Amino acid sequence: MESPAEIGFVIMTHNRVEQLNRLCKRLTKMFPKAPVVVHHDFSQTSLDKSLFPPNIHFIEPSLPTSWGGMDSVEAIIHSIEVLHRETAPHWTCLLSGSCYPIKNAEQILTDLRSNQFDGHIGHLKIPHSPPNFDDPKLKVYYLRYFSVILWGLTVANKRLCRRRYRLADTWVRPLNTIFPKIHRPFSKSFHCYWGETWFSLSSKAVRRLLDFHQNDSALKHYYRLRRNVDESYIHTILANSPDLNLSNDCLRYTDWKNSPTTQHPKILDMGDLPKLLKSSAHFARKFDMKTDSQILDELDVRISET
């Protein structure tokens, strides 16, 4: 095995090939020695690998992925395994194709070297008991990860489920009272956590994640019947590890407050540039070259100047 790189990247994509290419070229320019693994769902969008820098490693065959499903988590973890198979980087950053760096390479590496954390990942503890919370988000997360599932039954709860309903992961609130502990892996000593999907993990945290995922089938099985598991499964494993010192900041800039939808953060444009430059985050999302490519051009210039 080669000597470890200081940083490596896993990028999850299913569309926006041109924007993915730009991100890969930018990362390669900023971190010439950094390994970059891309999991692109070829079943959703075709892609010409010859147009990408030669150091980009594509997962082949790619795994079919669904929005927020356990198959997406399996693809993330498999990609991390591939990244660490040849040269295990000291830090692994998970990005989407709509992410882009907002700090230069020296600043990113200095920040990661100088802190005492084993990982930067948002992790909010979801109470184990049925919710009586002032925060409505906690109620949503509790229902998402604790509610009893009835196979073959669909309940149209428009307030909580605004998209199509799948038979395998229907929320049935009343059954929580009747079966309060049925088939749940969570307890007072093993909590459920929620956070945004993206993170930066040390090699220590990566080893913990891969070992747990390989050896614990019960948690995997439980999350396969849930939705939005990319926002909980990895977070739950790491946040329940007492030997890890985790930062509750994923170092990603997002703007949910001004987004027209609850499903995705705001598409960032030139009007957001001052806030991006002031942010302590390393990367930002969500960008869309078709909406505003000028902000990416400007970030390239500003990062190069610093």
Is the Cβ–Cβ distance between 191 and 37 less than 8 Å? no
Alpha-carbon gap, residue 289 to 19, rounded angstroms: 7
What residue ranges define each of the domains in the chain, with the CATH number in brackets? 7-114+251-305 (3.90.550), 128-178 (no CATH)
- The pLDDT of 34-49, averaged and rounded, is 93
Residue entry with tokens 């939705």: 227
Percent of the chain predicted with pLDDT > 70: 85
Residue 158 is predicted with a pLDDT of 34
Is the Cβ–Cβ distance between 55 and 35 less than 8 Å? yes
Residue 197 is predicted with a pLDDT of 96
Which has the higher per-residue pLDDT, 155 or 297? 297
Say whether pLDDT at 164 is over 70.
no
Tens digits of residue pLDDT in 106-149:
999 999 999 899 999 999 999 877 666 677 788 888 888 887 65
Mean pLDDT of the chain: 86
Say whether pLDDT at 172 is over 70.
no
What is the four-CA torsion angle of 248, 246, 195, 185, rounded to 10 degrees? -140
Residue 183 is predicted with a pLDDT of 65
Residue 146 is predicted with a pLDDT of 84
Say whether pLDDT at 165 is over 50.
no
- The pLDDT of 58-79, averaged and rounded, is 93
Say whether pLDDT at 160 is over 50.
no
Helix spans in the chain (H): 17-30, 70-86, 105-114, 136-146, 175-178, 203-215, 217-224, 233-239, 273-278, 294-305
Task: Give all strands (DSSP E) within 245-289, no chain letters.
Answer: 246-247, 252-253, 283-284
2 confidence band (pLDDT: 50, 70, 90)? low
Sign of the C-alpha dihedral computed for residues 297, 298, 301 and 304 taken in this order: negative
29 confidence band (pLDDT: 50, 70, 90)? very high
209 confidence band (pLDDT: 50, 70, 90)? very high
Q: Tell me, what DSSP letter sits at residue 115?
A: S
User: Residue 59 to residues 37, 107, 186, 258: CA-CA distances in angstroms?
Assistant: 7, 29, 33, 35
